[in-house]
Structure 1
Amino acid sequence: MSTNEKKIILKPSHKSLLWWYLLAVLLIPVFGIGIYLLYRFYTTHQSISYIITDHRITLKDSSVTENIDLASIVETGVFRGLNEKITGTGNVVIKTKARTATLIGQEEPGQLAELIRRAAEAERRRIEEKPEKKEKAASQNPGTLDKRDYLTGLWQQGLLSDEDFKKEMKHFQ
């Protein structure tokens, strides 16, 4: 990643777990199960992050990291269940030819999906417009440097006279 590359880090909104938090609070009197559930929901949610750069999206959780190149994205969408509609959050679904990834619990998921779709289109255009790198034509024939090194070695060892060395080196200029 280059130093001037833009980077956005997103985390799931805690609003998306509203019903799970309420359930955990209700279960606190039952042998402390609710406290354990609150801890698990919070730590799991904190371990999830999404890093969006100019060229890729990185999905991270506590055990897995996935990279999706923007140019490979073919479709974006939004999934909003009843909980998400109530809390104003949603899941952004990203589809490539090979897989589908979901950015869970995002606020303003419609806008985020549209931004990712536009960024993917821009990345594909950038790649298509990128000029092909042409190989530099060799300024000398292949093997010329090897021959020069060989002659220089003979001259340094005294096996070739100064006159013969200069005469042979004129062929390489």
Structure 2
Amino acid sequence: MRAALLLVLLAAGGFAYGGWALWGAVFATRAAPPPPVEIGDALAEVARRAAPEPDAPWPAIFDAYVPDPPKPASAPRPKQTWRLVGLVAGGEDAWAILSGTGGEQIVRKGDTLGVAAEVVAIEEVGVRLRQDGEETLVGFDKTPRSLLADLI
């Protein structure tokens, strides 16, 4: 019973202290804020009183800047050569495997190869590419067996 009474007294004291602190924060008179500090005039006065800096010439540490000469234009890139490795001709769903210096690549109509080559069409005889406005047909490499099959 004594412990409960002690706890009630402590709670009431804490509540009273909180109310007193709130009253002081809300209704207490505050001191006027200090005037803003202006250092512009004081700084100008110090600058006028300071001795002028001597104009000592500094020795040259680096040579005068000379820009690099312009680089010559690079040679035009050689045309990429492609070799037909595989082909599935089937109208709009046709695709082909082309091999170049960058490796093998599966392509469809409308794909771009490298920098300036575009797949125009995939036909039974090969793949039509457009490079620099010029159309070329990339077909299978001719082997002695394929040449003989063409003759028969």
Superposed pair shares fold, TM > 0.5? no
Q: Normalising to structure 2: TM-score of the pair?
A: 0.29
Q: Which has the higher helix share?
A: 1
Q: Normalising to structure 1: TM-score of the pair?
A: 0.26
